[in-house]
Amino acid sequence: MNGLTIIFALVTILAVFSTISALKNKNPLGIFFGLGTAGVIGWFTIMTIINHGYPAAH
């Protein structure tokens, strides 16, 4: 499950960047989906870290 945590975190970061870009372009649908993605996948990231721990660097 450690790889899943990293993937969730990367998707969350990309969603935040896309939301910022949509705000600059005044794109309401992009803002809506960007915030939705960041919220849902961000929650999955937090819960995965809490339940399975932070991925260890081997």
End-to-end C-alpha distance for the chain, whole angstroms:
15
pLDDT for 58 equals 58
Residues near 15 by Cβ (< 8 Å), separated by ≥ 6?
Answer: 34, 37, 38, 41, 42
Report the SS3 class of residue 52: helix
Query: Greater confidence, 35 or 54?
Result: 35
Q: Binning pLDDT at 50, 70 and 90, where does residue 51 land?
A: confident
Q: What is the pTM of this model?
A: 0.82
What are the pLDDT digits (tens) for 16-46?
Answer: 999 999 999 999 999 999 999 999 999 999 9
**How large is the average pLDDT for residues 6-21?**
95
What string of H, E and C letters represents the secondary structure of 3-35?
HHHHHHHHHHHHHHHHHHHHHHHCCHHHHHHHH
| The length of the chain, given as a count of residues | 58
Query: Greater confidence, 51 or 55?
Result: 51
| Residue extents of the structural domains in the chain | 3-52
* Encoded tokens for 8: 């969730």
